[in-house]
Chains A and B, each alone.
Chain A
Amino acid sequence: MASSDPSTPTTTVHATKVRRVAIAGNPNAGKSTVFNLLTGLKQKVGNYSGVTVERKSGTLVGHEDIEIIDLPGTYSLNPKSEDEQIAYDAITSHLPDEDPLDLIVCVVNATNLERNLYLASQILDLGLPTIIVLNMMDEVEAGGTVLDIRLLSDILGAPIVPMVATRKQGLEDLRNLVKGSLPSPGATRWRLDEEVGTAILGLADELKKIDGSLTQKRREAECLRILNSDRLLDYWETRSPSFFKSVKDAREELDSKSVAYGQAEVRGRYSWLGQVARRVTKTQEAAEARKLTDRLDSVLLHRIWGPVIFVVLLLLVFQAIFSWATPFMDLIDAGISLLAGVVRTVLPEGMLADLLVDGVIAGVGNVVIFLPQILFLFFFLSLMESTGYMARSAFIMDRVMRRVGLSGGSVMPMMSAFACAVPAIMATRTMKSQRDRLLTILVIPLMSCSARLPVYTLFIGAFIPAATFFGPIGYQGLTMFSLYIFGTVVAFVAAAVLKKTISGPESFFMLELPPYRAPQWKLVFWRMVERAKIFLIRAGRIIFVFSILLWFGATYPKAELPTEIQSRYTAVETELASLSDGNDDARVAQLEDELLELDNTASAYQMEQSAIGYLGKMIEPVMSPLGFDWKLSAGIITAFAAREVIVGALGTIYSIADADEESLALREHLQNAKDPETGRNLYTPLVALSLLVFFVLALQCTSTLAIAKRELNSWKWPVIMWVYMTGLAYLASLIVYQGGLALGWG
């Protein structure tokens, strides 16, 4: 693999920004909605350096010098996962590649004040300029609740903007606050257990010696964070061993007095917040949205109807990406051919034209063709996310998925993988646990994607009898179905095995079931476009490089044609030239056919002599125990760029122009190919079965590797993925072929 990778996501340096504003809040509080309102739709999506967490930023509409950053959602400043860690580091300005923040906008779901203020009050404790957005005021009012916002603002010591983000209510007030003078934070008044409080004061003094620039309030707040979180403490082990030790000592001392310091903050803060919530809330009834949600849930999470509806929805999505996308994919295909044709006519015949058409356009075309599937899939996924159904699907499926070491969140991505692994891997972003996400990504390519379909069709059509044995069900259909099931079962087994080898915190499951909401079409649309952009740019670049490499491999070294073919060429060409126009049309057509056949023979010969043909012969000894000769082996090598490439490659090898999976000629060539020594049929149904098994399991798709690299931010896991899947494929094919031979099926 290339060591310098052009797709490495970068974090841009923001030098000229006058003010940097971050949006924080609980998941589902409406951060994205507020972010979109503030920034319009000019957003940049990247990654924080070194991690897989997505970084979204933009500028305040009309103010290029005010940068707005959307932080990952978090329930508290006690980080439990990579993205929560980023949120914490960003708020406390611990990120080395980011400038410090000037202002924090904390989005609070007003229907659930107490819990949302937990995070808000932790942020306020840090003493940073903070604005509180009380979002979802429409739902609060619909529930007949009145909030005393001025009182709440006084208690918290921070400006508060009531908002209905989906209707842009309160946007002007928020904009004015964001660009106005920075608010100075007041004090939050909750009481910490006395013993813990004393320990914190001691630690704050220690911290002062290391960093004198922080305010006392900020130091105390950070010490409380560090006391409670191993994750945060680890950071100090190298940075300041003495402070690290002080914290350890403080913990031990509190333990020895059996003070439950871990609970001190939660208890203290919540007992205060309980009072605050009671004081500012005038009436309290179950919100209207909740009642509707309960009614919907009693159907959508019903013991029988719940799973049934879930499966029907899945099938619908599946159907959409499988068949509704087809016309668009055909259109793109036609467009690519058109482009290739234009390039051919514009450029002089030669290496450059060949490289552009057969290498770049064909290779990149292989990626772009997936775009309709990506758009459809992400349309449905963001729709489910936006309405609140996504969380329910995880709720329904968690038990099943946990059996094999995955979690409820893996269902959607794994189902999407039947269409294509690339969008499926991108869809794992919604998963909370990094470990579950990694595991899911590692097994996704085992699900049979649509790129395997042409290969399945070709070999099943050629070698499996078309007979039916039960009504309309025939052996061919059954084989196809078995291949899909086989891939899925292996994916589950692989997950169960890999789970044991991946270290990391045990998957932590806690899922909020938000009320159902009408989708925000704009947001759904933009999320879809955003994903498509990431896909095209990141995966496209890698594919671009690989296709060029592959083209060179199939084209060089240039073979000297055997004299026999050359003299036939000369003969045909001279005769063609000698025939004058319109004289002997039948003979001209015949000669042109012959010329075409010669071209095919020549390209097959070229293939045999090329680097890839050479490789095919080189690995033939390794592949022959699976039943593959050098031609199939060479085909398989080309298929490592993308599976369906093997159809075209075998076509070239068997010198048939314009081979595709429906081509009877290629099918017949495969059926009739003879072993030059024994004269027996080269390919038997057993060889076909072995090849099919190989294609079910092997990771032959550069796009998948590229996107996995991008999502996991390292080559380590893509390489592991490739090795284990290809190893598995080899082993399984070996067992099938040798077992079959032993049983006398050869």
Chain B
Amino acid sequence: MTLDQLEPGRCARVTCWCDGISDRFMEMGLLPGTEVEVVRVAPLGDPIAVKVKNCQIAIRRADATQINIEAS
């Protein structure tokens, strides 16, 4: 499963990364093993707001498809 498929309000754990995604997401703490929650989806469906390490960041769906997760 990838991060874009997670429903708002649900938590998951990052498992691994696809190549070619910016390492900035990692530096923001979206690392393998980290707990993430999709807090909400933008009114038009994209981007999505995720909570990671006590902080909310907005990322585009296209990027979220590059992040594999495992629901917890």
Bound form: Cα–Cα A303–B59 in Å: 17
Interface pairs (11), CB distance under 8 Å: A75-B28, A78-B24, A114-B53, A115-B53, A118-B29, A301-B40, A396-B44, A509-B60, A511-B47, A511-B59, A512-B56
Nearest 3 CB-CB pairs, A to B?
A: A513-B56, A511-B58, A399-B44
Contacts of A263 in B (CB 8 A): 17, 23, 26
Bound form: Cα–Cα A395–B44 in Å: 9
Whole-angstrom distance from the CB of A396 to the nearest CB of chain B?
A: 6
Q: Are A112 and B47 in contact (CB under 8 A)?
A: no
Chain B minimum-CB-distance residue to A305? B43
Contacts of A294 in B (CB 8 A): 39
Question: Is B49's CB within 8 Å of the partner chain A?
Answer: yes
Question: Is A36's CB within 8 Å of the partner chain B?
Answer: no
**A interface, CB within 8 angstroms of B:** 75-76, 78, 80, 111-112, 114-115, 118, 228, 262-263, 266-267, 270, 287, 290, 294, 297-298, 301-304, 306-307, 391, 394-396, 398-400, 402, 508-514
Q: Contact partner of B27 among A78, A306, A402, CB < 8 A?
A: A78
Once A263-B23, A395-B49 are accepted as A-B contacts, the answer to whether A510 and B57 lie under 8 Å apart by CB is yes
With A398-B42, A398-B46 already in contact, 12 other A-B pairs whose C-beta atoms are closer than 8 Å:
A78-B24, A115-B53, A267-B32, A294-B39, A301-B40, A307-B44, A398-B47, A509-B47, A509-B59, A510-B59, A513-B49, A513-B58
Q: Is the interface of A mostly helix, strand, loop or mixed?
A: helix
Q: Are B42 and A399 in contact (CB under 8 A)?
A: yes
CB-defined interface of B18-46 with A at 8 Å, one 1/0 digit per residue?
00001111111101100000011011111
Chain B minimum-CB-distance residue to A394? B58
Once A396-B42, A509-B59 are accepted as A-B contacts, the answer to whether A115 and B29 lie under 8 Å apart by CB is yes
Bound form: Cα–Cα A228–B24 in Å: 12
Bound form: Cα–Cα A395–B49 in Å: 9
Whole-angstrom distance from the CB of A475 to the nearest CB of chain B?
A: 35
Chain B's interface size range is 20 to 34
Question: Is B54's CB within 8 Å of the partner chain A?
Answer: yes
Whole-angstrom distance from the CB of B36 to the nearest CB of chain A?
A: 13
Contacts of A307 in B (CB 8 A): 43-44
Bound form: Cα–Cα A270–B34 in Å: 10
Q: Are A75 and B63 in contact (CB under 8 A)?
A: no
Q: Are B23 and A267 in contact (CB under 8 A)?
A: no
Contacts of B53 in A (CB 8 A): 112, 114-115
Chain A minimum-CB-distance residue to B42? A395
Q: Contact partner of A306 among B26, B28, B43, CB < 8 A?
A: B43
Contacts of A297 in B (CB 8 A): 39-40
Q: Are B29 and A400 in contact (CB under 8 A)?
A: no
Once A304-B43, A396-B42 are accepted as A-B contacts, the answer to whether A75 and B55 lie under 8 Å apart by CB is no
Contacts of A228 in B (CB 8 A): 23
Q: Are A266 and B27 in contact (CB under 8 A)?
A: yes
Bound form: Cα–Cα A266–B56 in Å: 19
Q: Are B24 and A301 in contact (CB under 8 A)?
A: no
Q: Are A266 and B44 in contact (CB under 8 A)?
A: no
Bound form: Cα–Cα A294–B60 in Å: 20
Chain B minimum-CB-distance residue to A270? B31
Whole-angstrom distance from the CB of B32 to the nearest CB of chain A?
A: 8
Q: Contact partner of A303 among B27, B43, B57, CB < 8 A?
A: B43
Bound form: Cα–Cα A118–B26 in Å: 11
Q: Are A512 and B55 in contact (CB under 8 A)?
A: yes
Bound form: Cα–Cα A527–B26 in Å: 33
Q: Are B43 and A396 in contact (CB under 8 A)?
A: yes
Contacts of A399 in B (CB 8 A): 42, 44-47
Whole-angstrom distance from the CB of A387 to the nearest CB of chain B?
A: 15
Bound form: Cα–Cα A304–B42 in Å: 10
Contacts of A402 in B (CB 8 A): 60
Contacts of B27 in A (CB 8 A): 75-76, 78, 118, 266
Bound form: Cα–Cα A306–B63 in Å: 23
Contacts of B40 in A (CB 8 A): 297-298, 301
Bound form: Cα–Cα A306–B40 in Å: 12
